Amino acid sequence: MSVIQQSITDKLTAALKPQHLEVVNESHMHSVPANSETHFKLIIVADVFSAKRKVARQQSVYQLLADELAGPVHALAMHTYSPQEWQDRSAPAPASPNCLGGSKKDQG
């Protein structure tokens, strides 16, 4: 696991004590140098989310990852669930969108 990915995992695990956590480095799908750690997808299932609305859940995660977001992390695709919501899902978390910018863009 890469350095930033491990830091994100450690912070979320310590603060949220999730039942399920996926921290996926999706940087390779974007216009960044090889081995970058700039784009991540988070799937978090935690009891603490049971009493929070979606926006409050995401704000919690943004606060926990403030240092990463102020530095190397450019984007987070975030999917936050209570244990009951996760259990009730009939499909996996949504896929992240394709990259639309950067050097892969046609330069007409």
Q: Stretch 69-96: mean pLDDT, rounded? A: 86
What pLDDT was estimated at residue 33? 62
Instruction: Map residue 79 onto helix, strand or coil.
Output: strand
Answer CATH for 3-91 from 3.30.300.90, 3.40.50.300, 1.10.10.10, 3.40.1080.10? 3.30.300.90
What pLDDT was estimated at residue 44? 97
What percentage of the chain has pLDDT greater than the value 90? 59
Q: Is there a contact between 44 and 21 (Cβ–Cβ < 8 Å)?
A: yes
Q: What is the pLDDT of residues 20-66, one digit of tens each?
A: 999 998 876 766 666 677 788 999 999 999 999 999 999 999 999 99
What pLDDT was estimated at residue 74? 84
pTM: 0.79
CB under 8 Å to 13, separation ≥6 — which residues? 21
How far apart CA 64 and CA 85 sit, in angstroms, is: 22
Q: Is there a contact between 100 and 36 (Cβ–Cβ < 8 Å)?
A: no
Encoded tokens for 100 = 């639309």
